[in-house]
Amino acid sequence: GTRAVDRVSDDYPIMVAPGQPGLRVNVTLDEMVRYSPKKVDVIDLETCEFDTIDLAELLRHHGDDYQGINDIVSILSEGHIRQPGGLGIDFEHEKVIPTFEGLNTRTPFLKQIHLILKMLEAALETPVDIEFASNGKDFYLLQCRAQSHNHDYLPAEIPRDISENRIIFSANRFISNGTVSNISHLVYVDPQSYSALPDRDALLKVGDAVSKLNQILPKRKFVLMGPGRWGSRGDIKLGVSVTYSDINNTAMLIEIARQKGNYTPDVSFGTHFFQDLVESAIRYLPLYPDDPEIVFNEEFLLGSKNILPDLLPDYADLAETIRVIDIPQITDGLSLEVLMNADIDEAAAVLTTASTFADHHPPAVSRESKSKENKRNDHWRWRLRMAECVAAHLDPERFGVKGFYVHGSTKNATAGEDSDINILI
């Protein structure tokens, strides 16, 4: 769980679709090996501290101790991946990688998860996100909350007659639906200049500058573009070191994966950092500038007037790395609009007047469940009922519970539609 939800720069979770168990994100052998989890977070019982260790090393010494391990790992042998047989795994000599293939194909686990999600959706009248733990026998629901969404989630129509000199960038991978309009400023952290910074202090200073720009640029009127993984807590050369509060006023966050030799750095999805973006309606888009099929107007990004020294004189020495572009100022009043269409897996950022693409925007449609919740406008009472329901169904003897307390916005009757339910057990 911790490896999946934190913004780590050197590891990956396994992604599956409970409703479509046959769907795979990683298809080729190279992808399955490269994007398999490599590390695991543990509690050291001798020091009573959290630690991160190599998963391969853990399995080499203790793989046989884990129940259901045959459903979690696969064996890499002679250029092929196979499922463990009935005789078990030789963890000392065989190369194993976690794929969860057995869990997906040989057990009802994914179907059960899908059923749980549908039951909770029916009961709460909205799709939900959950966090859980399981030892293969018992299922522990750790968190359940309404799935994040916003009203502008419909696919944008991307006109085919856009003049190429008005396109700042386009994309054709990992596209979501929606439109980001009326962008007045671009903040572009140049990947090559960023990677050439001399030391960690200089890299951290870039994050500090972004944080200050986040406070002074027009809220939800600017886009952040930068290398690799924003918010990385590992090797910060792979991405600008920021927290959510350092970028929470942007309209869109873009991660740029520039090719270095034969290597293209990875961008990331599915973290708590990413969830914060979704909940705040901050759009996310990865860009691959070296893809010959897309547009990446580097001349505009590097050649336009940079107002960073005017906005932040103390960070003028970073002007080659951080470029802040006032779009209306250099385009005689135009603004930037990003059109995204997941149905055709395309996106385009276009210089436009306010009315240029008005006819191409489908009307926003709010979900029925959102409408019901807004009409009810009784968020804290609903959350209190849910907490009471959890308490009523909890077996205190089995779980050793001596007290169950509700606190925070639910207790204080100040909860909003996106508030958590804070429970102390």
Residue 172 belongs to a domain: yes
Residue 157 belongs to a domain: no
For 143, counting Cβ atoms within 10 Å of its Cβ (0-12 exposed, 13-18 middle, 19+ buried), the class is exposed
Residue 23 belongs to a domain: yes
- 176 with 294, same domain? yes
- 202 with 337, same domain? yes
H or E stretch covering 79? none
In this prediction, residue 374 carries a pLDDT of 45
3-state secondary structure of 64: helix
- 284 with 328, same domain? yes
- 232 with 356, same domain? yes
In this prediction, residue 28 carries a pLDDT of 82
Domain count, the chain: 3
In this prediction, residue 372 carries a pLDDT of 45
- 315 with 378, same domain? no
- 264 with 309, same domain? yes
In this prediction, residue 301 carries a pLDDT of 97
- 291 with 340, same domain? yes
Residue 158 belongs to a domain: no
- 325 with 183, same domain? yes
- 188 with 300, same domain? yes
What are the backbone angles phi and psi of residue 405, rounded to the nearest 5°?
Answer: -125, 140
- 344 with 281, same domain? yes
In this prediction, residue 334 carries a pLDDT of 95
CA dihedral 8, 11, 13, 14 (to 10 degrees): 160
Residue 191 belongs to a domain: yes
In this prediction, residue 373 carries a pLDDT of 42
Model confidence pLDDT, tens digit, residues 248-272 = 899 999 999 887 655 455 555 545 5
Residue 154 belongs to a domain: no
Distances (CA, A) of 286 to 209, 229, 311, 326, 340: 22, 10, 27, 22, 12
As beta bridge partners, residue 11 has none
Strands of 147-246 (E only): list them.
Answer: 167-171, 178-183, 185-189, 222-227
In this prediction, residue 375 carries a pLDDT of 41
Q: Residue 121: give the domain boundaries.
A: 109-148+368-424
- 168 with 27, same domain? no
> Running along the chain, 425 residues long, what does each successive block of 10 average in pLDDT?
60 82 78 86 91 91 89 90 84 91 90 94 89 88 77 79 93 91 96 93 96 95 92 78 89 88 53 65 90 95 97 97 97 95 94 63 44 55 88 90 89 78 91
Its pTM surpasses 0.85: no
In this prediction, residue 75 carries a pLDDT of 92
Residue 389 belongs to a domain: yes
Of the candidates 343, 225, 350, 342, the residue with the CA atom closest to the CA atom of residue 287: 225
In this prediction, residue 228 carries a pLDDT of 83
- 273 with 210, same domain? yes
In this prediction, residue 179 carries a pLDDT of 93
